[in-house]
Amino acid sequence: MSTNDITAARHELAAARRCVVLTGAGMSAESGVPTFRDALTGLWSAFDPERLASREGFAADPHLVWRWYAERRQGASNARPNAGHLALVGLEARFEQFAIVTQNVDGLHTRAGSRDVLELHGNIVRTKCFAECGVRIDDPRDLPPGEPPACPRCGHWLRPDVVWFGEMLDAEVLERAERLAASCDAMLVVGTSGLVYPAAGLPSLARAAGARVIIVNPNPTELDDLADIVVRDTAARALPALFAAT
């Protein structure tokens, strides 16, 4: 991590009033949360990802898909926010407007204490009705028995409240994320490769509106050319440095 990069990023953040943070899988890596594909190990390595993460796959074998997500949900529940998550909580108070837009489904930003978190791809801890009757259960302890459980309203299966292959993002969440990106002074992009759209388009919106773009990632990303500053380090190391110095 370059001291010069941290100093430059600190200067940009200090001058901003409205900040948006876009986070991806690298944000939670140091909490021990594997990416979707990294979790396809052992028993699960033989399965096509789309069989485990699509409406068609769930309809064909709801028990299999439920067990896969139950295992991942338990892993996310056991994980703890890392120093990067906690640094963002401290950074929040320094801006007139501060929001986190995340591609992660582990809920760690909220558990760390961040107040305005937009979960583009849903939350693996929550469940909802497969038939879209409107039922959503936030706490796994409130789930009825069964693998998968039956919806208490309509009797259909319950499913994870995440975005599967072939599904659209929640339109209201995406629209708000785009509004925030187009009106911020600074966008901090942490731990995302920049390959998955529409999330990867948010830094372009911010840059087009005049915001400064700061990337925190130990590896090169597809968004590096958009950035004003690139900090080559992990979230858990770089973000506390930004917080301490801002």
Residue-level length of the chain: 246
Decide if 121 is catalytic.
yes
**Which of 63, 85, 109, 121 does the annotation list as catalytic?**
121
DSSP helix/strand/coil, 100: strand
What lies within 8 Å, CB to CB, of 62 at 6+ separation is 130, 148, 157, 159
Identity of the residue numbered 118:
L
**Nearest of 41, 50, 110 to residue 77 by alpha carbon:** 110
Q: DSSP secondary structure string, 170-224?
A: PHHHHHHHHHHHHH-SEEEEES--S-STTGGGHHHHHHHTT-EEEEE-SS--TTG
**Active site residue ranges:** 121
